Amino acid sequence: MVHLRIVVPGDIAEKVVALLCAAPGVTNVVRFRDVAHKPEGDLILCDVAREDASLIIDDLKDLEVQHVGSIAVELIDSSISDVSRAAEKAAPGLPSDAVVWEEVESRTSEQTELSVSFTIFMIAAMQIAAVGIVLDQPILIVGAMVVGPEFGPLAAICVALVRRQRRLAKRSLIALAVGFPVGTFAALCSSIVLIAVGAFPDEYGTHEFTDFISNPDFLSFFIAVVAGSAGMLSLTTAKSGALIGVLVSVTTIPAASNVGVAAAYGEWDAAIGAAEQLIINLGGIVVAGVVTLALQNRDYVVRRREHLRDRG
């Protein structure tokens, strides 16, 4: 279930209450008259089946509630109520498959800013990956994948393309366009220093366990597509996103770091291969993410049309 907290002027509150009470997927509707002071108006609370949450929120937007008041969305972890279960049964589909688009847009928007912390995480992840590549240690590559923050902007680009949000797309592209080069350059600089002081070997050498990073092939694109689809499903269906972020990072952070490491050794073939790996996988992730979201959005558009016809 999804909990909505609505603040709206009294003249629109009547329409809002009527709308909520008429919707089968809404329950626990409560109205407090004249309790809000900034802005002035009524406070209305309700619980909505997750499958119908975006439909109801769009109905509220049609009443221009967002312009004269506010709509706050909160996820309910547990609800012990027969009427809540009845509301969930009245909404078509399964809660685990439902997409609350407002939640998705809010979650991705928070992770797209080019901030100091985002840049530091990118640099730190690529430093760890650089050591893992030179020492040919997969465990360090995994550590770099855990630290890498790039999944947020990648997911935001997919959401922005499907939902046609230029500002979100612009912020995400800026974060990636700055974060990857800065992290790669930092890996290059640190590799040069570590080679000079003898911490890194003098020769690039062979990399039995991490050689795939600088040798892209069809499987690289295949993994990127699977990772992109899994990442978007994790984001939109309220599944755990922690391991998905690791899965996505396996094809991005290590490749970007390897560009800097290989350049420090003068191994330009490896650097070019790693750059190709990065481009292939970023493209594959975005394409798969956009397709996945587009299919989910198409289902929502169909449901929205049916909902409007029923409400009419």
pLDDT digits (tens, 9 = 90+) for 267-311: 999 999 999 999 998 999 999 999 999 998 888 888 888 777 765
Report the pLDDT value the prediction gives residue 190, as an integer from 0 to 100. 96
Mean pLDDT of 235-257: 67
- Let me know if residue 136 belongs to a domain: yes
Class of residue 20 by CB neighbours under 10 A (exposed 0-12, middle 13-18, buried 19+): buried
246 shares a domain with 180: yes
Average pLDDT, the chain: 87
Report the pLDDT value the prediction gives residue 242, as an integer from 0 to 100. 44
Mean pLDDT of 181-204: 95
Looking at the structure of the chain, the number of domains it has is 2
Lowest mean pLDDT among 37-41, 60-64, 240-244: 240-244
244 shares a domain with 152: yes
Q: How far is CA 41 from CA 6, 17, 19, 28, 47, in A?
A: 10, 13, 17, 20, 20
Last residue of a domain, one of 98, 131, 147: 98
Which token pair is 69? Answer: 């008041």
Report the pLDDT value the prediction gives residue 250, as an integer from 0 to 100. 56
CATH code of 174's domain: 1.20.1080
How far apart are alpha carbons 205 and 54 in whole angstroms? Answer: 54
116 shares a domain with 79: no
146 shares a domain with 25: no
161 shares a domain with 80: no
Nearest CA among 30, 187, 181 for reference residue 114: 181
**H/E segment holding residue 169:** helix 166-197
Give the pLDDT band (50/70/90) at residue 189.
Answer: very high
User: Sign of the C-alpha dihedral, residues 168, 175, 156, 279?
Assistant: positive
28 shares a domain with 8: yes
Give the pLDDT band (50/70/90) at residue 21.
Answer: very high
Mean pLDDT of 202-212: 86
Give the pLDDT band (50/70/90) at residue 247.
Answer: low
Class of residue 270 by CB neighbours under 10 A (exposed 0-12, middle 13-18, buried 19+): buried
Mean pLDDT of 164-183: 92
259 shares a domain with 278: yes
The string of DSSP codes covering 188-243 is: HHHHHHHHHHTSS-SS----TTTGGGG---HHHHHHHHHHHHHHHHHHHTT---HH
Pairwise pLDDT comparison (70 vs 96), residue with the higher score: 70
Give the pLDDT band (50/70/90) at residue 15.
Answer: very high
Instruction: Look up the domain containing 221 and give its range.
Output: 105-299
- Let me know if residue 234 belongs to a domain: yes
Report the pLDDT value the prediction gives residue 244, as an integer from 0 to 100. 54
- Let me know if residue 206 belongs to a domain: yes
| Reported pTM | 0.80
| Cβ-proximal residues to 6 (8 Å cutoff; 6+ apart), any chain | 16, 43, 44, 45, 46, 60, 65, 69, 70, 71, 72
114 shares a domain with 64: no
